Structure 1
Amino acid sequence: MGHEQQERGSGHLLLFPFLAQGHLIPFLNLAKRLESLGQRGGSGHRRLAITVVSTPRNVASLQRALPAGSSIGFAELPFSPSDHGLPPDAESADAVPLHAFPTFTLATELLRPSFEKLLTELAGREGRKNVCVLADMFLGWTAETARALGVQHRMFLTSGAYASAVIFSIWLRPPSFPRSAGPDDELALTDFPDVRVRYAEFLNVVVKEDYATDPMLAYLCRTITLHFCHSGGILINTSEEIEPKGLHLIGKLSGLPTFAVGPIIGGRTAPDDTAADQDTCIEFLDSKPQASVLFVSFGSQNSIPASQMMDLARGLEASGRPFIWVVRPPVESDGAKEFRADWLPDGFEERVAAAGQGVVVRGWAPQVRILAHASTGAFLSHCGWNSVLESLWHGVPVVAWPLLADQLFDSRVLVELGVAVEVASGRLVGGLGSKGWECVRDVVETVLGDGDKARDMRQKAAEMKKLVRAVVGGDADGDGKGSSVLAMERLLDSAFD
């Protein structure tokens, strides 16, 4: 064995995700990837210990998602949602009504004292130079804590590079739209003069027109600034092959080294009572021709207005194309536990079921299994970054309907890659607008039909599938490493050497 292959000491990675499924899952998948890297002798046979930090309910859920024999550890921080007027089980943003999301986000800063105690004990036991915190973008205060204790810190972006750069710039230095601005009026960003943002997009990022006095926006600005000032680099769930422009922009904005460690994807954990829905979805796909089914889902915490839900239903039915639609209560009914029949056209579910055209799932569906199925031909998505990466990984073209924040700019990335067509944009402002159900019908036909556009998108999606899988490639001997593996090794070298 050559000298360069000798063991290079130990390191303890403390992973701290924001309390939301869209963040917890990528962090757990990152932990699994790092564990695998250590097992196969990555970065010169470095011994790695990995601990994921969260609240008790989240830890229990994440532990269930680990394979047997995993060495990944967990640390629990106490959190009492009811102290903040939130539901007692609201340890994850998915259990919080949308209107209470700012309250929930601000409440997570109260985890700081117990996190400081945990980090102090770990650094004292293992040595400050042997510990590195990998923390979520929403937890900027962890960078300040780590700096004070002399511990290494890296920010982990679960979103894409381009979208992150754009929305961070909007938060920190909002473009000065006049009050008289129309939805389609555009302004260039102060940090990126070649990036233009529409007023409708701006409002769906800052959420409130009186953003200057919004405590949530103030928190976001503070958390990003803390990362940029005190962190030692940014891990991003993307790759140079997917987002070269985005990686350049986020590096320019932050002034920090970037580590493109993605795409990091993995299975999503189902609630215990959804086996029937899972079986129904797969059986439906098994009965349909290859690349013929449209999968429709707006993610675990997003929805659209009731009127647009009606238009979506009418457009899907009018298209005649088979579909699986994961429905959630509309925006106006935020917090509703049950889905009401009158949120869909009269007899819609019965008609599409009788015709064998559609399956309407109320709750959870096995998204990864659906996207991996040969009969899935397209994905009508809100363009959350996890869903974007899963669509690219499985080579599935996208009908983009972004709603908020980074989703709006993730859609741009997909369209520029040639694997998506945007049907609507925005939730607070915009959406389908006056286009109505006919627009849904026409776009579904464009993506699933036999025309040149559909063929071109399918070809480009197949090319991206090969590309993103090569990014994380590598064999048991550590040869032929993809750029994601090399980025992780550079990360470990920077943190512990």
Structure 2
Amino acid sequence: MADDIHQQKPDEKPIVGTVMVPFPMQGHLNEILHLGNLVASYNIPVHFVGSTPHNQQAKQRLHGWEPETTRKIHFHDIKLPHHQQPNIPLNPPKPDTESKFPGHLQPLFDATEQLRQPVFQLVQNLSTEFKRIVIIHDTMMAFVVQDANSISNAETYAFHSVSAFTIFLYIWESLGDHKPFELDLDIPNGIPSNQGCFTPRFTAYIAKQYEALNFDSGRLYNTSRVIEGKYIDLIAKLPGYANKTLFAIGPLNPINTKSKTRHRSLDWLDKQETGSVLYVSFGTSVSMTEDQITELAIGLEKSSQKFLWIFRFSDRVDLSADEDLGRDRLPYGYEIRVQDKGIVIRDWAPQVEILAHPSVGGFMSHCGWNSCMESISMGVPIAAWPMHSDQPRNAVLVTQVLRTGINVIDWAHRSELVRSTTIETIVRRLMISKEGEAMRKRAVEIGRSVRESTAEGGVSRLEIDSFVAHIRR
């Protein structure tokens, strides 16, 4: 990245400093910390603010960057009031058949509102040190940062942690019969409804954030115009966006991973044939029932395909809880039976490095946007199994728009148990059929284009260069 520094006189204030305000779910934390590293690579001071345990979590789980880059970031740890509700068991949350959204985390989301005053105080203090202080915040933290609008030399930029495709559809549908223009492209059929995507409490939380989201100077998107340029352009035409500058600066995940320590999963992948392994992971906000875990395990085994399965449950409110508690839920003797074909990983694993490994030929995913972007940028096709939030629509983007994946289950049947026979069929279709091979070739081509977009002169590189120039103006 660019490392030029604007010249200034010794007694002058630096031109710009930035404050990053993430939403405390792993996918959101990860994206904004990636963005923080990207901004820091331009020699712009970065201040990352959040609760003490989540700042620690973000640093521990980050991978792919040189440690020197992250050390440039100033982390501001804020102690929140105790948000663990009484009598909440330490066991993973019991999955709900209607909505798999991690509603058990709602006390934490509500507690983040206590960051409002500390964040304002930090921005106010930093505003005296820089000619311009730039706040980059997750859209789900708009309530927290709204007071920055009263600081004369402060600018705020909302960061969208989901796909432009998903954002456009949500806004377009909300306009009802008052559409401002005719669409000049085909929207895929069967767009999933919002039913089952969120709990009612989180839906109300989202509404509260968007009520406060009326002060930002621009929007940032973790996407590339290579894959979503037409949807970025459509968003720019929507009411309320006329005076906003939009920057498609993704993928934020590193393209060339630079971890100095090597996870054991990579050693196992080294021994496998090129493109032969299915990577299975459902992120940090998904918990499956025991019946579904059993069906998945049997389906993977019966497919006779090699697999690397990250077997974790949803993060808890209490991040210090024992992660292995209650996790012996695989069929008896399973790991011994599949040891020639598969490996089960129960700890944190470096997903970007796994997806970049030449042995990986497919990804069974919940289609969180982080996972989608990482898979797309590494050229790996997806077996899409969305669970909640924006994931059902991300799955449509992957399977119908980009055509680099297949559905495990239709969203309309989300409450049904996915049987091992279905999983076996899907795995074999993705990994060893002609259909899967065509998807893999297309994924590789798109991945190459996305990676090229981050190189000097590429569209994503030009977007981040443009954003940096804009805040340094």
Question: What is the TM-score with the length of structure 1 in the denominator?
Answer: 0.78
Q: Name 2:291's counterpart in structure 1.
A: 307
Q: Name 1:378's counterpart in structure 2.
A: 362
Question: If each structure's helix is expressed as a fraction of its own residues, which one has the higher value?
Answer: 1
Query: Partners in 1 of 2:462 and 2:38 — Cα distance?
Result: 12
Is 2:284–2:313's contact at 8 Å kept on the other side of the alignment?
no
Give the deviation of 1:243 after TM superposition. 0.9
Amino acid at match of 1:202: N
Query: Partners in 2 of 1:237 and 1:147 — Cα distance?
Result: 24
In the superposition, relative to structure 1, how do residues 154 and 141 fare at CA in structure 2: closer, same or farther (>3 Å)?
A: same
Query: Partners in 2 of 1:5 and 1:487 — Cα distance?
Result: 19
Find out whether 1:490 has 2:466 as its counterpart. yes
SS of 1:154's partner is strand
Pairing of 1:74-89 with structure 2 (within 5 A): 74-82=75-83
Query: Partners in 2 of 1:62 and 1:268 — Cα distance?
Result: 20
Q: Identify the match of residue 250 of structure 2 among 242, 262, 267.
A: 262
Q: Comparing 69-78 with 234-243, which one deviates more in the overlay?
A: 69-78
Q: Name 2:279's counterpart in structure 1.
A: 295
Give the deviation of 1:98 after TM superposition. 3.0
Query: Partners in 2 of 1:235 and 1:359 — Cα distance?
Result: 38
Q: Name 2:155's counterpart in structure 1.
A: 152
Q: Comparing 415-424 with 304-313, which one deviates more in the overlay?
A: 304-313
Give deviations 1:261-303, integer Å, cap 9, x for gaps.
111004999xxxx98xx31x23332222111111100012213
Give the deviation of 1:144 after TM superposition. 2.2
Q: Name 2:194's counterpart in structure 1.
A: 202
Q: Name 1:109's counterpart in structure 2.
A: 113
Give the deviation of 1:329 after TM superposition. 4.5
Q: Name 1:68's counterpart in structure 2.
A: 68
Give the deviation of 1:61 after TM superposition. 4.8
Find out whether 1:137 has 2:139 as its counterpart. yes
Give the deviation of 1:390 after TM superposition. 1.3
Pairing of 1:322-337 with structure 2 (within 5 A): 322-329=306-313, 337=323
Q: Identify the match of residue 41 of structure 2 among 36, 46, 58.
A: 36
Pairwise CA RMSD of aligned residues? 3.5
In the superposition, relative to structure 1, how do residues 143 and 494 fare at CA in structure 2: closer, same or farther (>3 Å)?
A: farther
Query: Partners in 2 of 1:113 and 1:460 — Cα distance?
Result: 48
Amino acid at match of 1:14: V
Give the deviation of 1:494 after TM superposition. 3.5
Give deviations 1:382-419, integer Å, cap 9, x for gaps.
11111111112221111111111111111111112121
Give the deviation of 1:461 after TM superposition. 1.2
Query: Partners in 1 of 2:118 and 2:466 — Cα distance?
Result: 30
Q: Name 1:59's counterpart in structure 2.
A: 55
Q: Name 2:233's counterpart in structure 1.
A: 248
How many residues matched?
435
Is 1:84–1:107's contact at 8 Å kept on the other side of the alignment?
no
Query: Partners in 1 of 2:301 and 2:130 — Cα distance?
Result: 60
Give deviations 1:206-244, integer Å, cap 9, x for gaps.
43xxxxxx44322201212322x1111110000111112
Is 1:397–1:420's contact at 8 Å kept on the other side of the alignment?
yes
Q: Identify the match of residue 230 of structure 1 among 199, 209, 215.
A: 215
Identity level (%): 27
Q: Comparing 456-465 with 343-352, which one deviates more in the overlay?
A: 343-352
Q: Identify the match of residue 127 of structure 2 among 123, 126, 130.
A: 123
Query: Partners in 2 of 1:297 and 1:406 — Cα distance?
Result: 17
Query: Partners in 1 of 2:226 and 2:373 — Cα distance?
Result: 13
Give deviations 1:122-173, integer Å, cap 9, x for gaps.
113434xx11100011111245212122321000112221123334667x67
Is 1:400–1:423's contact at 8 Å kept on the other side of the alignment?
yes
In the superposition, relative to structure 1, how do residues 190 and 404 fare at CA in structure 2: closer, same or farther (>3 Å)?
A: farther
Find out whether 1:99 has 2:103 as its counterpart. yes
Give the deviation of 1:488 after TM superposition. 2.0
In the superposition, relative to structure 1, how do residues 375 and 189 fare at CA in structure 2: closer, same or farther (>3 Å)?
A: farther
Give the deviation of 1:359 after TM superposition. 1.0
Q: Name 1:50's counterpart in structure 2.
A: 46
Amino acid at match of 1:231: D
Q: Which has the higher contact order (CA 8 A, sep 6+)?
A: 2
SS of 1:405's partner is coil
Amino acid at match of 1:136: D
Give deviations 1:303-346, integer Å, cap 9, x for gaps.
33332222211211111111111123499xx9995465773334
Q: Name 2:98's counterpart in structure 1.
A: none
Give the deviation of 1:88 after TM superposition. 13
Gaps of 5+ in 2: 9-13, 91-100
Amino acid at match of 2:168: A
Q: Name 2:96's counterpart in structure 1.
A: none
Query: Partners in 2 of 1:329 and 1:28 — Cα distance?
Result: 23
Query: Partners in 1 of 2:188 and 2:438 — Cα distance?
Result: 27
Query: Partners in 2 of 1:437 and 1:83 — Cα distance?
Result: 37
Is 1:80–1:88's contact at 8 Å kept on the other side of the alignment?
no
SS of 2:31's partner is helix
Is 1:143–1:230's contact at 8 Å kept on the other side of the alignment?
no
Amino acid at match of 1:484: S
SS of 1:76's partner is strand
Query: Partners in 1 of 2:24 and 2:116 — Cα distance?
Result: 14
Is 1:200–1:430's contact at 8 Å kept on the other side of the alignment?
no
Give deviations 1:177-220, integer Å, cap 9, x for gaps.
xxxxxxxxxxx99799875886964212243xxxxxx4432220
Give the deviation of 1:260 after TM superposition. 0.3
Is 2:285–2:314's contact at 8 Å kept on the other side of the alignment?
no
Amino acid at match of 2:222: N
Find out whether 1:239 has 2:224 as its counterpart. yes
SS of 2:374's partner is helix
Q: Name 1:178's counterpart in structure 2.
A: none
Is 2:248–2:463's contact at 8 Å kept on the other side of the alignment?
yes
Give the deviation of 1:115 after TM superposition. 1.0
SS of 1:203's partner is coil
Q: Name 1:473's counterpart in structure 2.
A: 455
Amino acid at match of 2:409: A
In the superposition, relative to structure 1, how do residues 400 and 215 fare at CA in structure 2: closer, same or farther (>3 Å)?
A: closer
Query: Partners in 2 of 1:259 and 1:74 — Cα distance?
Result: 25
Is 2:383–2:426's contact at 8 Å kept on the other side of the alignment?
yes
Is 1:329–1:336's contact at 8 Å kept on the other side of the alignment?
no
Query: Partners in 1 of 2:34 and 2:157 — Cα distance?
Result: 17
